[in-house]
Structure 1
């Protein structure tokens, strides 16, 4: 799991009973995403009428994954080759803990995932992503991106959000297929992937080199 405060914690998470009851009453919607061949099929499930986070996640998988330089994507190639063929991603605004996401080990998955696995016969995994918490995530909390003024736009903020969703998604798959790797190791890989991708898109869009500056007052 990836915490907003980047602490080493247990990787196992079981959704709480109250949250399960609330989601059951509210209802959920699903969308099947068929990304590039090196990514698994993804079934996104999200609260009914609250599809903004799911839409951003779908866009990064379908439209932007292949725009990321191959050398960055290659870091996850061995992990993705071992990943389940179908990933069920449960989208929430926030988790009851401060974590951005959790992979769900066998025995803790939702009824939906159990049903899909039994019906399809394919390897199926499950995770949750706290999409609003991910939008607010600062992977380097002591610094801020040194970007030109024109980068302070809704379009660029949307791209940052999408890259963060992708990084947490890959982070949880890493935990799923290589459980022997510590949270520190997994987090180091995913945060570097995020910052390298952001650096690339900053250079492409604004023609400036990615950098960091200290927060005001530091």
Structure 2
């Protein structure tokens, strides 16, 4: 489990390509390597990955076909930075919201509004996910637990959209500071919201409503 509180970023220093398979090697700062062992779980841009090898500050992770298909990690290049969160341990503070590290889809950044000391980002979701986003609800964006500021319903021209408001701390600690319109981010819907919405839908369907 993860909390959506990104602990830092790390640079991808090497990528080994194979058919429908990739290995990412990242340079992990010492503060994020403490107690790390092979087989441990670490989130990259919100995607739960397993440590497959360690060589001092170089840590390797394997990405399979489904990960490359569903997330933005397949587009990562050497030199790019990714958001990093170590798996939560019993007793850790849940500063964001509970996240699984199982990304459901990606969303495109379509609008960016700058203001003194904060930034508002608008993302467009795939249509099926629109029913899971609500004003002031939680959402995971590239592994960051964020509060939804506003939701716009889908139109004939656009899919459903939502915005998040970022404080300087979030911009300083994560890769969202470098995001520009056209970029694609990983999305994890709040699992509690998803469970409630799907349960209500099943009840209504059973009653013919």
Instruction: Please indicate, yes or no, whether the TM-score normalized by the shorter chain is above 0.5.
Output: no
Structure with the bigger percentage of helix: 1
Structure with the bigger percentage of strand: 2
What TM-score do the two structures reach when normalised by structure 1? 0.28
What TM-score do the two structures reach when normalised by structure 2? 0.29
